[in-house]
Amino acid sequence: AQSVAQPEDQVNVAEGNPLTVKCTYSVSGNPYLFWYVQYPNRGLQFLLKYITGDNLVKGSYGFEAEFNKSQTSFHLKKPSALVSDSALHFCAVRDRGGSYIPTFGRGTSLIVHP
């Protein structure tokens, strides 16, 4: 079985400050991990993914995420937040040896204040 937890419903940060959106996962084997962003009235858009190799993954819009196997985490980060980053962010996991169906977290609403 696979699962994802996003412990924060909402994250508030001031523009220009660093941001972190948390994600922890559980899989039987090794994971493929994904972050998606959803802007109002839009579908989810892919941001970045971890497959293998370097634990620090860089993606779209200046976002990055760090895979930590010992803590089973894949937190999304950005060094300097923009107001335009305000959106709903989803973490997702697939077990490499398991189903093609990903499991999504409930989403974290990121609000960046001017």
Binding footprint of another protein on the chain (CB under 8 A): 32, 34, 36, 42-46, 49, 51, 90, 94, 96, 99-102, 104, 106-107
Closest separation in Å from C-beta 14 to another protein: 27
Among residues 35 and 112, whose Cβ is nearest to another protein? 35
Closest separation in Å from C-beta 18 to another protein: 25
Residue 91: which residues within 8 A CB-CB, separation 6 or more? 4, 6, 21, 23, 25, 33, 34, 35, 74, 76, 104, 105
Residue at 80: amino acid letter: S
Among residues 70 and 101, whose Cβ is nearest to another protein? 101
Residue 103: which residues within 8 A CB-CB, separation 6 or more? 2, 3, 4, 92, 93, 94
Closest separation in Å from C-beta 50 to another protein: 9
